[in-house]
Structure 1
Amino acid sequence: MFKLTTLFFLVMFVIGTDTFLISPLIPTLQSLFHIPTEYSGWMVGSYALGYALFALIAGPLSDGWDRKKVMLFGMVCFSVSTMLCGLATGFWSMFLFRFLAGVSAAFTAPQVWAMIPALFPAQKIAKVSGIVMAGLAASQAFGIPVGSLLASTHWSYPFFTIGIWALLVAVFIFYALPEMKPNQVPKAKTSIFSRYLPLLNSRTARRAFLAHFLFQCGFFAAFSFIGKWVADRFHLSIDQAGYVMFFLGLGNIVGSLGGAYVIKALNRFNTLVVGFFVSIICFIVLPHLPSVTAFESVYFFIFVNMGITFPLILGLLNSLNPAIRGTISSLANSIMYAATTFGSWIAGLIYAAFDGFSAVGILAAICFAGSLLSFIFSGILARDAKAKKEFAS
């Protein structure tokens, strides 16, 4: 079990690091490739676009295939496409290779969340999910510093380094992961998107995924503008803002590793309610704090809550229909990236219109409140509690 937990941690760490890797490189690549400022963000957006689009396809396909082969193939392609980014000669080649990296990640990462409930006993799922989530949190904390350090020698080195690491993880997948063939082979061919019908036809699923969208939209709307806010409000340099992000990433790690113990003490419903209420209050007071230390301290709690709540939400979503966990995981990831794009866009408009972070904080608070209400009224929490009682008896 330790071997599989380590493997899943590394998969999420490598993919997460690549996601955040390009952020510190944008000014360098913009100058190198002569890219206008208004287009430079697409070097990040192309990755999210590839992920969001193909996650919808990857999930249904993976439910009918051996998950080990899907993850192995996805990780190898991820390794190759990431290393190709280091060979990019201009904007469009970088756009293409980043897009392909996002597509590869869309086939790889959702398999982790679909495999955990199948490979681990029920009482271990929350703990393992928290450790795996810590891999993503660690990439958030260390991705930007690692990228900056490697890029100080040459801008391509971060891509080659992560690509090589991804290839080593692929070897680990080949030797450590058991075959995971589908439980049932469909008698007749069905369209990819017909696999989503059980979710679309379920009121519980629709409301739960809406709650997931609002949660991610609120978090990433505020997250996208942390750097700009601390620069505008506290006059921090780019390097100093990076240290702020590093500290906040540690909060995510703390929440991920300690989440199972919190859930055990409070239960899932109370954990969700308390965490959301704390975050809502934090988002409202953040813009009015007098110092960067106070800002970091309060935002640290938000990231701790993110580390606890995110794997909890994914666990709830995967409980909707155990037969299509790959579809559920891919849809959840696709929604997350769509929410990231939408939330960042709306937050940018609000930040410019109201000249500050106050309105963005209120937007995040409203999204979290809507998410909590949607989770409660979906009935997924009550159903999860009932399932646990039946399992215990």
Structure 2
Amino acid sequence: MQKRHAALGMFAVLLFSYVINAIDRQLFSVLAADVRNALDLSLPQVGLASTVFTLGMGVAGIPTGYLLGKMSRKSVTLVGLVIFSAATYLTAYSRGLPDLLLYRFVSGLGEAMQLTALLAIGTSYFFQHRAVAASSLNFTFGIGAIIGPNLGAAILGATHWKMPFIVFGLSGIVAFVLIVPLVKPWFSEARPQPDPAANRSGAPADPALDSLWAPTPLMLAVATAFAGLSIYGYLGLYPTYLRDALGFTPKQAAGAVSFYGLGALLSLLGGWLGDRYDYRKLLFFSLLISAVAGGLLFTELGHSLALHATLSFVFGAAISGMVYANLSAGIIKSVSSAKAAQASGLFVASLYIPAAFAGYLLGHLKGEMGWTLAGILQVSGCALLAALLAIMAGARRAD
């Protein structure tokens, strides 16, 4: 019991570092309008800058899954923390679109390294509660999604657009000095438990569970890609929509978006449900709710901050609290436990490579058909496609 409490304490330290990761990811969208004016960017360009970090996350996802077989998970976590914190700091000194995109891309590389390592740590040590372990990461993402926009807007109001990047970039030092002495190898490097699907010789009873490219994980990966386009269409340009189209102040826009983070706090419930019931059905209904709420956010809701906040909460609760947790855990469950790190990498790549272009796509669609149709087409449409793919995915699980 004492060892388990120590493990929970170490996981809490790692989750704290992920809050900083989440803050860094959420910060740019609130400052996008200010960065756009300062660097003289078009809407599609700033939309691309808002989400291009996810390309770095996606590119790094699968290689990091294999890197975890060569380096300790703790080391990968620390290297990722240093990379994304440094890139966030340097974003403040961008002089134009090329270096801005470079810093955003590099920040995504570091964020993916940290996320993939943390998924591997949590789902390996807490093997019997993989969905809860995965969802705890998204729970802490929700905390960062609440803190980041609001504190970033407050710093912006008191100083200038560069200062929030500087402050949050330097905050990674705090997490680094906590992880180094407090997180022990017996926790971070714990091997997955023997797979219940294995026979006495140690080989998986079902060879499909030992392949990352079997139909079930691949179909869930494609569903993840469409969910990412929906999530990051919202996260990338919804604050810009509120400010440019509806005239919200930075503080009001940040307040509305932070309710998405509040909804993400339901991740632990989503993981608990996914561990006990058919996660495919949970994904299907959660994605349907996401499609409705996400589409309504871009319709004529007037200037009601309360209504925007409410729908942002519903969208966040459904797609972040329920969908994110169960897509990540679902891909991991669909393969053998020995492939957990690689499955984590597949999830990260599937979510974040397409999401890199979500802001650019929504900005382009807005130019062609206006905010409302663009938002419905991308945010709602992609969620519906993800729902169909999730319910069609095979029911086989590596439990």
User: Is the TM value for this pair above 0.5?
Assistant: yes
| Whole-angstrom distance in 2 between the partners of 1:103 and 1:71 | 12
Structure with more of its chain in helix, by fraction: 1
Q: Check conservation: 2:36, 2:42, Cα contact below 8 A.
A: yes
**Aligned-pair CA distance for 1:116:** 1.0
Matched with 1:47 is: 53
Match of 1:391 in 2: none
Cα distance in 2 between the residues matched to 1:335 and 1:315: 13
Secondary structure at the residue paired with 1:22? Answer: helix
Q: Please give the per-residue CA displacement for 1:256-310, whole angstroms capped at 9, x wherever unaligned.
A: 2432454467553442233223223334555255663344323421211121221
Letter paired with 1:14? I
Asked whether the equivalents of residues 63 and 182 of structure 1 are also in contact (C-alpha less than 8 Å), the reply is no
Q: For the structure 1 residues 211 and 10, does the alpha-carbon distance in structure 2 shift closer, same or farther, using more than 3 Å as the test?
A: same
Structure 2 residue aligned with 1:315 = 329
Change (3 A) 1:16 1:285: closer
For residue 147 of structure 1, what is the aligned residue in structure 2? 152
Q: Which runs of 5+ in 1 are unaligned?
A: 185-196, 389-393
Q: Which residue of 2 aligns with 1:383?
A: 396
Rounded to whole Å, the distance in 2 between the matches of 1:264 and 1:331 is 20
Bigger shift: residues 304-313 or 234-243: 234-243
Q: Which runs of 5+ in 2 are unaligned?
A: 1-6, 193-209
- What is the CA–CA distance in structure 2 between the aligned matches of 1:363 and 1:84, rounded to whole Å? 31
Confirm whether residue 162 of structure 1 aligns to residue 176 of structure 2: no
Structure 1 residue 218: deviation in Å? 2.4
CA–CA distance in structure 2, aligned partners of residues 83 and 343 of structure 1: 24
Aligned twin of 2:228: 216
**Per the alignment, do residues 163 and 288 of structure 1 end up closer, same or farther by CA in structure 2, a change over 3 Å counting?**
closer
Q: Which amino acid aligns with 1:312?
A: N
Q: Determine the structure 2 residue equivalent to 1:340.
A: 355
For the residue of structure 2 that corresponds to 1:23, the secondary structure is helix
The amino acid that maps onto 1:297 is T
Task: Confirm whether residue 256 of structure 1 aligns to residue 267 of structure 2.
Answer: yes
SS of 1:357's equivalent?
Answer: helix
Counterparts of residues 90-169 of structure 1 (less than 5 Å): 92-123=98-129, 125-151=130-156, 152-169=158-175
- Aligned partner of 1:326 in structure 2 is 341
Q: Which residue of 1 aligns with 2:253?
A: 241
SS across alignment from 2:356: helix
Residue type at the aligned position of 1:273: F
Alignment of 1:185-200 (within 5 A): 198-200=211-213
TM-score (norm 1): 0.80
* Separation in 1, partners of 2:360, 2:174: 36
Structure 1 match to 2:288: 277
Instruction: Check 1:78–1:249 CA distance in 2 against 1; reply closer, same or farther (3 A cut).
Output: closer
Residue 17 of structure 2 aligns to which amino acid in structure 1? V
2:238 matched to which residue of 1?
Answer: 226
Q: Distance between the aligned counterparts of 2:237 and 2:91, measured in 1?
A: 26
> How far apart are residue 344 of structure 1 and its match?
3.0
Q: 1:5 touches 1:132 (CA, 8 Å); kept in 2?
A: no
Question: Match for 1:11 among 17, 21, 24?
Answer: 17
CA distance in 2, matches of 1:365, 1:67: 36
Relative to 1, partners in 2 of residues 1:356 and 1:127: Cα closer, same or farther, differing over 3 Å? same
CA distance in 2 between partners of 1:216 and 1:24 (Å)? 19
On the 8 A contact 1:60/1:324 being kept in 2, the answer is no
Query: Residue 10 of structure 1 contacts residue 169 of structure 1 at CA under 8 Å; is this kept in 2?
Result: yes
Corresponding residue number in structure 1 for 2:73:
67
Report if the CA contact (8 A) 2:328-2:344 is conserved: yes
Deviation, structure 1 residue 42: 5.4
- Please state whether the residue corresponding to 1:310 is helix, strand or coil: helix
Alignment correspondent of 1:298: 311
- For the 8 Å contact 1:12–1:133, the answer to whether it is kept is no
Q: Percent identity?
A: 19
Local SS of the residue matching 1:312: helix
Cα distance change on mapping 1:228 and 1:65 into 2, 3 Å: closer
| Whole-angstrom distance in 1 between the partners of 2:101 and 2:241 | 28
Counting matched residue pairs gives 368
Is residue 29–residue 237 contact of structure 2 (8 Å, CA) maintained in 1? no
Cα distance, 1:182–1:212 mapped onto 2, change above 3 Å? same
Give the aligned partner of residue 172 of structure 1: 178
Give the C-alpha shift of residue 207 in structure 1: 1.0
- Give, in whole Å, the separation in 2 of the partners of 1:236 and 1:154: 18
Q: Which amino acid aligns with 2:238?
A: I
- Mapped partners of 1:95, 1:298: distance in 2: 31
Distance 2:267 2:161 in 1: 31
Task: Specify the alignment match of 2:383 in structure 1.
Answer: 368
Offset of residue 28 of structure 1: 4.6
C-alpha contact 2:228 2:355 (8 A) present in aligned 1: yes
Shift, 1:318, TM fit: 1.4
Q: Aligned partner of 1:245: which letter?
A: V
Paired residues of 2:80 and 2:114 also in contact (CA < 8 A): yes
Residue by residue over 1:220-243, the C-alpha shift from the partner in whole angstroms, topping out at 9 and shown as x without a partner, is 334444334445665433332222
Distance in 1 (CA, whole Å) between partners of 2:33 and 2:293 is 32
